[in-house]
Amino acid sequence: MRKKGIIYAAWVSIVGNAILAVLKLVVGFISGSFAVVADGIDSSADIISSIVTLVAAKVVRKPPNIKFPYGYVKADTVASTVLSMLIFLAGAQLAISAVGRLIQGDSDEVPAMIAIWVTLFSMAGKIGLSLYLKKTGKKEQSGMMTTMGVHMRNDMLISSTVLIGLLATILFEEAIIDKIIALGISIFIMYEAVMIFLKSNTELMDGVHDSELYDQLFDAIRKVDGAYNPHRTRARKIGSRYMVNLDIEVDPEMKVSDAHDIAKDVEDIIKEDIENVYDVMVHVEPMGNQEKDEKFGITENDVPQRKKKK
């Protein structure tokens, strides 16, 4: 089954981050580098994130039922929201600790060289995990796994910042640099968490990230003869795929069977022209039909790209 790849990748992430987290926390405390400890805390949060991913991947595999007729694939998006909160909490806790150390001025010793070696090892490990998770996310069409891959890449950038800070700290023999780097890492972690939350929240609110999708929808509908005035168009994501609802107008003198054929052609051309479309529901109306109470969906005039084409 397709989701088995996500479960396997989640286990790889759990084991990989556990090794890195233990290594960085132990070496961070031994060497006296709070920045390395901070990096270790970030990797510890990644373990929790991977566990959430693992649970979500198992939920996603459950078949549709009377309670969830669309299935459980949105568990992927819910998991991304939970991940963002966990990441933010880890970053906030780290920021509080970093500010406290800066104010108190404790542990002013310069970190030992071993901190540099473990940071280099961490960077290599994070690059490998990032490439693997992003590849799995693309293959399995999982936004949750892709998010994890991007997070691993950002972790590598964090480790590179730690490395620069360690080199500067040892070179100039100023321990405060290490603490400032730790504070900077915490701010970056919180920023990253907010961005993940905003992205997943859009999907939970049945929104789309790019209006280009609607431009593609209207272009596809225009290819079907007899389908006029597409309106009340709505697209929402279910996992990695789209559910599309729209209204079209047809000749009122047309037979029901002919109108059905046009609606079927609209459905087929949308699935053919646009990737990852789960289902298309087309409502047929007679030409010139007016319904003043229509509140949902959009028309061609609402799409910025189509205004430019006119």
d(Cα 186, Cα 298) in Å, to the nearest integer?
41
**Predicted confidence (pLDDT) at residue 189 exceeds the cutoff of 70:** yes
Helix (H) or strand (E) holding 80: helix 75-104
| DSSP class per residue in 82-123 | HHHHHHHHHHHHHHHHHHHHHHHT---SPPPTHHHHHHHHHH
Q: Are 250 and 286 in contact (CB under 8 A)?
A: yes
Any idea which of 115-129, 163-177, 204-218 has the lowest mean pLDDT?
163-177
Instruction: Centre a 10 Å sphere on the Cβ of residue 286 and count the other Cβ atoms it contains.
Output: 12
Q: Are 36 and 166 in contact (CB under 8 A)?
A: yes
d(Cα 85, Cα 263) in Å, to the nearest integer?
43
Please state, in angstroms and as integers, the Cα–Cα distance from residue 47 to each residue in 15, 16, 120, 281, following that order. 8, 9, 20, 41
Any idea which of 23-37, 77-91, 139-153 has the lowest mean pLDDT?
139-153
**Predicted confidence (pLDDT) at residue 255 exceeds the cutoff of 90:** yes
What is the tens place of the pLDDT at every residue in 45-99?
778 777 877 787 788 778 889 998 888 878 878 887 887 887 788 778 778 877 8
d(Cα 215, Cα 206) in Å, to the nearest integer?
18
Query: In what side-by-side order are the strands of the sheet with 277-286?
Result: 228-238, 241-250, 277-286
**Predicted confidence (pLDDT) at residue 254 exceeds the cutoff of 70:** yes
Confidence (pTM): 0.66
Q: Which domains does the chain have, with CATH numbers?
A: 4-204 (1.20.1510.10), 212-309 (3.30.70.1350)
d(Cα 59, Cα 62) in Å, to the nearest integer?
6
